[in-house]
Each structure stands twice: as structure tokens, then as C-alpha cells.
């Protein structure tokens, strides 16, 4: 069964995310537990949390993912930022446990001078500080790779897994991977990129895909998302990706823009049109 949905808002209470997802005709999704632009702990009302759990189960919407704050930087060499990042991640993991959400998604962040190896060491040691609840898994997301940010190379994902004692899995963002230099614009390119991911990281540990087209070309390191099939990955690449045997059972979460009169509902429908057995 195709699992496709969108990043949805928790405005007015986390339970509202389920209704919003159903409006998009999605059946899985992602949320922020609070504003991602500030250091803030989730403040989940127990009744709303219970309603979220019940509504998700009743409507068969899932899996859900909590996306961590944009301020989290696991790779940082700065002690204060490291501790804030650890504390923020722990709060997200506890929120996921409260909501029966199975995944918390995080970017590795930027090493800001510590170097690739130092940054990966920092990220792994930060992950090792976390108390991960049973039933919750940390997903490390691929990145577009600009500046000193890590995660743009599949080797970075494999490197942090090798260093950490946590049982982490991964989220592949198609726009990020494309921007980082992994071509996805043709069926052959999709085959090659997913084969490389499998060789370096392992497709068995790919738990989620952020399905986004890209407004910028392959290898530019520019992270700007486009509607599915409307960017430089394009229809051929997106069709090949969503029909690829390697990801057919992986949930697809959209982070596409709202512009040109189109939003998440349009993109969910577009994915369903591209999927050949739906």
C-alpha cells in the first residue's frame, strides 16, 4: 500500500494534524512539535495527544515523523550548542513516545571547523547521550551539503552510524540528495543513486523519504523544493523513484511548497498518479 502524506501543522492542538492530513488525502505524515525556529520544548496537552493517537489509529494514518528543530546541531564543537541540541532532541523523543510516533528526524548539522571526522564524532557522541524510548527510532536525514553541513554524502550517514551506539535509521530527502550531487532525473540515475545508497548505507535502514522535487540543478548544493515533477528532477525521475522496487514500501512525506495555486493536496495526488499500481 502506498504511504504518502505531507508535513502538517499542529496549530490549535496536535490532534488537528490528523484532520489536515486527511484533507490532503494523505495517509502518513510529519509534524513539528513546536516552532522549529526557536529553542522550545513541546507542550502537548494530554487530551490532545490522546485524540491524536486515537484519530491516527482510527483513520489508519501513519507512520508519523516528528522533525526536530532547525536549531539542533549534532556536529557542533561548541559545548553550549551541543547541550541545547541534546536537550531539544530528548524532548522530541519524549514527545514522540507520548504521541505513539515512531520516528524523530534530525539533520546532522554543521561541523563549523571541526572537520568531517570531528563533526561525525561529535554527532555520534551527542546521539549516545540520548535516552531513546522503546518504539521510537532516530532518523538521520540526508542533506544538500552546503558549507560545513554534513549529511550531503552517503558516507556521512554511514559514518555516524558506525560511530554511535544508538540503533539509528535514515531519511532520504530527494531534493537534498539531488542538490548534493546524486542524480535522480532519469530512471537510470535513480537506479544508480539507490544502488549507491544501498552499497554505502543500506536500503534496509531507509525508514522514510522526504519526497521533494528541486528548483536547482544536481550538484549545486542549493536546497529549494519544487512541486513533484515540476522541478529539475522532473516527471521522469519522480516516476522512476516512486515506482522503484527499493522504496515501494517506504513512506513518502512531502515538504513541497505552497505556490502557483498548488499545495500539499495537489502533490499527494500527483504522487498517486505517478505510482503505477495505484
What would the pLDDT profile of 166-217 be if each residue is shown by its tens digit?
999 999 999 999 999 999 999 999 999 999 999 999 999 999 999 999 999 9
Q: What are phi and psi for residue 174, nearest 5 degrees?
A: -65, -40
User: Other C-beta atoms within 10 Å of 56: how many?
Assistant: 22
**pLDDT tens digit sequence for 90-137:** 999 999 999 999 999 999 999 999 999 999 999 999 999 999 999 999
The pTM of this model reads 0.97
Place of cell 522514510: 208
Domain ranges of the chain: 4-274
CA separation for the pair 202, 251 (Å, rounded): 16
Write out the three cell numbers for 73: 546541531
Instruction: Give domain 4-274's CATH number out of 2.60.40.1120, 3.20.20.150, 2.60.40.10, 3.65.10.10.
Output: 3.20.20.150
The values of phi and psi at residue 49, to 5°, are -65, -45
Angle, helices 154-163/187-200, rounded to nearest 10 degrees: 20
Phi-psi region of 272 (alpha: psi -120 to 50; beta: other; left: phi over 0): alpha
Candidates 249, 245, 243, 181; CA nearest to 217 is 181
pLDDT digits (tens, 9 = 90+) for 244-255: 999 999 999 999
| Per-residue confidence band for 278, with pLDDT thresholds at 50, 70 and 90 | low
Return the minimum-mean-pLDDT range out of 11-20, 36-45, 214-223, 237-246.
36-45
Q: Please determine, for residue 230, whether its predicted confidence score (pLDDT) is greater than 70.
A: yes
DSSP 27: S
Amino acid at each position: 500500500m502506498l504511504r504518502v502524506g505531507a508535513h502538517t501543522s499542529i496549530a490549535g492542538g496536535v490532534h488537528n494534524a490528523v484532520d489536515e492530513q486527511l484533507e490532503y488525502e494523505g495517509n502518513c505524515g510529519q509534524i513539528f512539535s513546536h516552532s522549529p525556529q526557536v529553542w522550545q520544548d513541546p507542550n502537548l496537552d494530554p487530551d490532545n495527544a490522546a485524540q491524536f493517537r486515537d484519530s491516527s489509529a482510527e483513520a489508519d494514518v501513519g507512520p508519523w515523523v516528528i522533525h526536530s528543530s532547525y536549531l539542533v546541531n549534532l556536529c557542533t564543537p561548541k559545548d553550549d550548542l551541543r547541550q541545547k541540541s541534546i536537550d531539544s532532541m530528548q524532548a522530541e523523543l519524549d514527545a514522540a513516545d507520548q504521541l505513539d510516533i515512531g520516528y524523530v528526524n534530525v539533520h546532522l548539522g554543521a561541523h563549523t571547523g571541526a572537520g568531517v571526522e570531528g563533526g561525525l564524532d561529535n554527532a555520534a557522541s551527542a546521539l549516545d547521550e540520548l535516552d531513546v524510548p522503546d518504539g521510537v527510532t532516530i532518523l538521520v536525514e540526508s542533506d544538500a551539503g552546503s558549507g560545513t553541513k554534513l549529511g550531503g554524502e552517503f558516507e556521512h550517514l554511514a559514518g555516524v552510524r558506525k560511530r554511535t551506539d544508538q540503533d539509528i535509521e535514515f531519511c532520504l530527502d530527494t531534493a537534498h540528495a539531488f542538490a548534493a550531487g546524486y542524480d535522480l532525473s532519469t530512471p537510470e540515475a535513480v537506479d544508480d543513486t539507490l544502488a549507491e545508497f544501498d552499497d554505502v548505507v543500506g536500503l534496509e535502514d531507509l525508514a522514510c523519504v522526504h519526497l521533494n522535487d528541486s528548483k536547482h540543478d544536481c550538484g549545486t548544493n542549493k536546497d529549494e523544493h519544487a512541486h513533484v515533477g515540476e522541478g529539475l528532477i522532473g516527471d521522469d525521475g519522480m516516476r522512476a523513484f516512486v515506482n522503484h522496487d527499493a522504496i515501494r514500501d517506504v513512506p513518502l512525506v512531502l515538504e513541497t511548497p505552497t505556490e502557483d495555486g498548488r499545495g500539499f493536496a495537489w502533490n499527494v495526488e500527483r504522487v498517486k498518479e505517478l505510482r503505477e499500481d495505484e
